[in-house]
Amino acid sequence: MFALLFAGAQSAQMQGRAAMDTRQYLAHSYMLQGFGREEASRRALDYFCDSVRVRSAQRDSADLARYREHDAGRTAERECRRTMGERVARNAGRTDVRGYMALFSDPRMSEIFATRPGYPLYTVPFVRGFGPVAGLWLAALVATVAAGGLVVLVLRTLGVSVPLALTGQVLYFALPTGKEAMLPLCEGLLLCLLLAAVLGCARVLQGRVVSGTTLAVLAFAGAAVVKYAQTLLAVAGIAVMTAVLLCARRLRGDRPVRPERVILLTTAALAVAIQLVVLAFGLPSTRASLQELLSVHYTRSLVDDPGPEFWRLSLAFWREWLRDALAQPLVLLLLACGAWGAFRHHRPFACLLVGVALAGLANQAGHPEMSMGPRLMVMAMLLPVCGIPLLIDSHVRRSAARGRDLARPPRADRRIPAPASR
């Protein structure tokens, strides 16, 4: 029922959500369907510029200065087609464009998206069957609804009641996770696969080591195909937090528990494997990401020494981010409540969630730019999605236990006094 309500609400806007990165993924999807590079780029250009038209028309129709005389976004569409069309024509003859690289931008920029085949491959049947507008919307909806179902399965695996597990699903749809997952970008599929991996880890913690480990490894591998950099951060974050937990247990004199050791070894091995694949195939690394960031997506000259410039930008970004977060502290409160609930309910599982949340923060730290909004940090919002239902469940259980302690049954030898006679 919640999934149907969510789908109905999302059908109010099927077009107009495209971001600049959407055209790269869609062109990659068309090339996987057999179209040539230039044809695929122009088809993706048609979708993107039509999205620009819809978004411009929606914005201008409610703008006080433009609502009387706006042209339904046609000017914005013409400008988009002119600018993007010139780039496609200019890059069509370049010899350094290869593989599944599109023609919208500098080849070094397109190469980053060409190394993420998971999402374009996922969208192929949707785009081929329903066209780019309905196809990309439906692909995002399927991934988002599946992720909401996985939240329910994760919470049920931890013993949470059905109503509270469904609360986690509603939180996934209502928080930024739902909004960002519905964009025609790879974040929705990435979150879905990460939740499948978290489900596998939860099964490991419940003693189902073989099936849980298999599910986690397959899900993390799929997530790496979608976006290897963020997956590397996630598995590394889980490994670090699990290692901290095991060290704390050892300092207290407790013996390490086998499921936790399995999670540590598995995630550490996956982190090493992903890094080795990046090095072996020469995939864009941290330095390439810094150059892309500081050159404003390769539209300006490269920085000889990106380190000082990056730290200067980072300091300014986090200062402004913290100022906004303190002025509107909802995100901080959600993260705090999620962490509190997870640690109060199940400490090893809390380390998993915090590890993924730290990966979201690290991803934002690697891209300190205000224009991206909450999309870069969206992995961190899985902490309140799963942690808040755990907080409520923990409170309900403790309240029930306290109530049983207070309502003690009368002793067998104690008689209820008879009412006094008048």
Kindly give the residue spans of alpha helices, DSSP state H, lying in 281-368. Answer: 286-294, 306-327, 330-345, 347-366
Are both 257 and 347 inside the same structural domain?
yes
Are both 103 and 125 inside the same structural domain?
no
Are both 145 and 240 inside the same structural domain?
yes
- DSSP-derived 3-state class of residue 13: coil
Q: What is the mean pLDDT of each run of 10 residues along the chain (422 residues)?
A: 93 90 95 94 95 90 80 89 91 85 88 93 96 96 97 95 95 95 96 97 93 96 96 96 92 83 95 94 83 81 83 90 92 95 92 95 88 86 96 87 62 50 46
Q: How far apart are CA 127 and CA 7, in angstroms?
A: 18
Residue 315 lies inside a defined structural domain of this protein = yes
Q: Would you state the structure tokens that stand for residue 108, as one six-digit string?
A: 């070094």
Q: What are the backbone dihedrals phi and psi of residue 75, each rounded to the nearest 5 degrees, phi first?
A: -65, -45
Are both 46 and 140 inside the same structural domain?
no
Are both 78 and 123 inside the same structural domain?
no
Residue 253 lies inside a defined structural domain of this protein = yes
Contact in structure between 278 and 285 (CB atoms under 8 Å): yes
Are both 399 and 275 inside the same structural domain?
yes
Are both 152 and 226 inside the same structural domain?
yes
Residue range of the domain that includes 77: 13-62+72-90+97-114
C-alpha distances in Å from residue 291, one per residue of 183, 288, 311? 26, 5, 13
Are both 137 and 170 inside the same structural domain?
yes
Residue 413 lies inside a defined structural domain of this protein = no
**pTM (whole model) above 0.85:** yes
Identify the pLDDT of residue 422.
43
Q: How far apart are CA 44 and CA 136, in angstroms?
A: 12
Total residue length of the chain? 422
Are both 164 and 305 inside the same structural domain?
yes
Are both 160 and 104 inside the same structural domain?
no
Q: What are the backbone dihedrals phi and psi of residue 69, each rounded to the nearest 5 degrees, phi first?
A: -130, 20
Are both 110 and 173 inside the same structural domain?
no
How far separated are the first and last CA of the chain, in Å rounded?
62
Q: Which amino acid is at 87?
A: R
Domain count of the chain? 2
Contact in structure between 215 and 200 (CB atoms under 8 Å): yes
Residue 419 lies inside a defined structural domain of this protein = no
- Tell the residue number behind the tokens 């990106």, with chain if given: 306
Q: Which residues of 199-236 are buried (b: 16+ CB within 10 A; e: fewer)?
A: bbbbbbbeebbeebbebbbebbbbbbbbbbbbbbbbbb
Are both 237 and 306 inside the same structural domain?
yes
Q: Which residues of 170-184 are buried (b: 16+ CB within 10 A; e: fewer)?
A: bbbbebbbbbbbbbb
Helix (H) or strand (E) holding 245: helix 228-251
Q: Which amino acid is at 41?
A: S
- Tell the residue number behind the tokens 């402004």, with chain if given: 320
Residue 391 lies inside a defined structural domain of this protein = yes
Residue 418 lies inside a defined structural domain of this protein = no
Residue 228 lies inside a defined structural domain of this protein = yes
Please tell me the number of Cα atoms within 13 Å of 354 on its side-chain side: 20
Identify the pLDDT of residue 290.
83
Identify the pLDDT of residue 149.
96
Identify the pLDDT of residue 298.
80
Residue 312 lies inside a defined structural domain of this protein = yes
DSSP secondary structure code for residue 408 in this structure: P
- DSSP-derived 3-state class of residue 159: coil
